[in-house]
Structure 1
Amino acid sequence: MKYYIIAGEASGDLHGSNLIKAIQQEDQNADIRCWGGDLMQNAGGTLAKHYKEMAFMGFLEVVKNLNSIFKNISFCKDDIASFEPDVVIFIDFSGFNLRIAKWAYEQNFTTNYYISPQVWASRASRVQKIKKYINQMYVILPFEKDFYAQYNYDVSYVGHPLLDAIAVAEKIDFDSFVAKHKLSPNKKIIALLPGSRKQEVEKMLGIMLATADNYPKYQFVIAGAPSLDDTFYQKFTSTKDVHFVSNQTYPLLQNAHAALVTSGTATLETALFKVPQVVCYKGNWISYQIAKRIITLDYISLVNLIMDKEVVKELIQNNLNSKNLNHELNKILEDAHRQVVLKQYEILEQKLGGVGASKKAAQLIVKNL
């Protein structure tokens, strides 16, 4: 059968790649065309468009790039029509995907959604579009099934695919990691995960780096995103005694003692690697003013949302400053507080239901076809 998969960012590329592998196990004759990245392409998908061409973040950034977005939508529709898939599979990326889903459904293509848009966080009215235009929804967070049930929409909970990705990640010990990246073998690592888009990295990394001077006994290491060129980070590292590793987030987290993390999927990844963290977020002022008026959640990090309480500290907008960041970093470096956080991480992992999300989703997709 023919599968058309659309992911629009680095995390979608990761989960899309594992879904492609799982589909190939279920359907050995699978013909897969995709929007995604290098991981999806390497897994066996034929890449129609790279997510680097679509990574616009925030309301202002979207407005500035409307022309490119409309061109991408038009190209995507033409490409799907030409490929004639048995199913179109959407991975998160709701602003783009829900527009394509409406068109695809009206063209009588089967539509599946893997990794729900965060409709439980804002603009819940989108549920009505999902109910109307999506034939099957596969969710990855334990509370999402109950959320959709409130709208009389039956969805399938398959577990979280990050557990799959982490389970198969190559393991590298501390000595090997520091030797490979020319780090100090005598200093513990504080990982900096500033995000995967230029706009958010430029906004977040300077704030994170301002903290580094206060912790000479530790070494700070920036996780370079696969979506960005290494040269992009040079302006941040040239004036600071910090280190940089490219596309090595999982090995970095395996060996980190603590982390400063931009809100997003990385907060959950950091927790699953059992690294105490401070969650950071600061957006464009106008974008933030709009967002805080439509987002209805008590927390922004996946860790706290899943646990339904504050496990990790969130520093948002004006609260994200050097004073608060130093205070919270000091706390997660203290052994007593660390043990409390690590115990909560264990409970978090149990809530996610174990490995196998990609396989479960693939089995249901193929079975339903």
Structure 2
Amino acid sequence: MPQHKSLTILFSAGESSGDRHAANMFLELKKHQPDIKGIGMGAAKMAQAGIDIRYDSTNIAVIGVVEVVRHYGEIRRALKLMQEIIETERPDLLVCVDYKEFNFKLARFAKQSGIKVLFYVSPQVWAWRPGRVKKYGEVIDMMAVIFPFETAYYDAEKVPVRYVGHPSVDKVHARHSKAEDMMLFKMDEKRPVVGLLPGSRANEIKRMLPVMLKAAEELQTSLPGLQFILPQADSISRELLEGYLKQSPVNITVVKNQPYDAIQCCDAVMTTSGTATLEITLLTVPMVIAYKLSPLTYWLGRWLVKTPFIGLPNIVAGRSIIREFIQHEATAENLAAEISRILTDRIYANAMRENLRRVKEQLGQGGGSKNMAELALALLS
């Protein structure tokens, strides 16, 4: 590769996890080529890493059929802008990070325009629509998967694939010891701590935080002396949280910018489905997973999704190691009962921790961001 040529990579990330993955990958790229340029769609983490944000993805970080329909106009505008960047600025590589349907359309446009495409984080073909593997193979140059079992799906269709490791393995580390964090967050180390992780999207907060707060209220009554902590996602404003927290009689300690330190302090966590479940797994903290969707999205999901689990720890383990409460089962009573069992049944909690440790081992040693940077440079050369 000629050293004098300054390379430009166009990143497309539509959600907070993708924003982090793209940011970490770009920082690794800068170590190899300090003059490399990053542009594209993303949010705060990508901007902090030095990527020129052309569209703020927090405007379209939604999930579910109903939510996508509501934001359809804005999603279309974002796609048109990204397509214009491809046409006018001709980046050397497009890196699509997650955000599947949007990025599939963008990848197809880039491929037709003669731009190489690296797709980071495979669609969940093991859960539904495995036929998508072949379709993705037509619009990408390489699929980078983050779970080791995913490569077989692409190998079967002769689609270029590389297992790069899960990016969370590298970044999920507390900054301080648990004892230091307990002091920092003004927690009593003699009293149990329960974490609330209601999600990183506004619609998740609206659906799940009231349920979790009601569960916390029930737990406070049945197990006096509990402490509660809520790591605030970067994509969620304090104003949105306060609207719910001020209506609750439970005292919740809100922690910003230190999610892993906050989780480390917990004896049990109630969390929404998503990347957070894997991060809690890597910290081997017992949890319960809950999720609610719009009725239409849930109905479609039940019809389309073939996997029996939604929680990543259960999917990687290949069996149920964490209780999942979905839709009508995601009640305050169910969450409170499971958290209470984790806190009071030591054998149950220890067995859960051991299962989480095994899943952590399956995910390997990490190096995801570094592997992604090297893969991108290999494609560029």
The question of 1:316 aligning with 2:326 is answered yes
* Residue 183 of structure 1: how far off its partner (Å): 4.2
Q: Does 1:196 align with 2:204?
A: no
Runs of 4+ in 1 over 4 A off after TM superposition: 182-186
Give the structure 2 partner of residue 12 of structure 1.
18
Contact 2:8 2:92 in 1 (8 A): yes
**Residue matched to 1:278:** 288
Q: Is the 8 A contact 1:142 1:306 kept in 2?
A: no
1:355 aligned onto 2:355 = no
Contact 2:11 2:96 in 1 (8 A): yes
Secondary structure of the residue aligned to 1:210 is helix
TM-superposed CA distance for 1:286, in Å, is 1.4
TM-score by length of 2: 0.92
What secondary structure is seen at the aligned counterpart in 1 of 2:302? helix
Deviation, 1:182, is 4.2
1:162 paired residue number: 168
Structure 1 residue identity aligned to 2:239: T
- Shift, 1:18, TM fit: 1.0
Counterpart selection for 1:239 from 247, 263, 271: 247
> How far apart are residue 129 of structure 1 and its match?
2.1
Give the TM-score of the pair, scaled to structure 1.
Answer: 0.95
The answer to whether the Cα contact below 8 Å between 1:18 and 1:165 also exists between their aligned partners in 2 is no
Unaligned runs of 5+ in 2: 1-6
2:122 to 116, 122, 130: 116
**Which 10-residue stretch deviates more, 211-220 or 293-302?**
211-220
| Number of equivalent positions | 367
Matched residue, 2:350: 339
Is 1:206 paired with 2:210? yes
Deviations 1:110-167 (A, max 9, x none): 011111122222222322221100001111101100122232324101111101112x
**Could you tell me which amino acid in structure 2 is paired with residue 116 of structure 1?**
S
Aligned partners of 2:178 and 2:261 also within 8 Å: no
The AA in structure 2 aligned to 1:31 is K
- Counterpart for residue 40 of structure 1: 46
Secondary structure (helix, strand or coil) at the match of 1:117 reads coil
Residue 177 of structure 1: aligned partner: 181
Query: Are 2:60 and 2:71, in contact at CA under 8 Å, matched by a contact in 1?
Result: no
Distance 2:269 2:174 in 1: 20
Aligned residue in 2 for 1:72: 78
Asked if structure 2 preserves the Cα contact closer than 8 Å seen for 1:90 and 1:112, the reply is: yes
Q: 2:364 and 2:376 mapped to 1: Cα distance?
A: 20
Q: Is the 8 A contact 2:142 2:159 kept in 1?
A: no
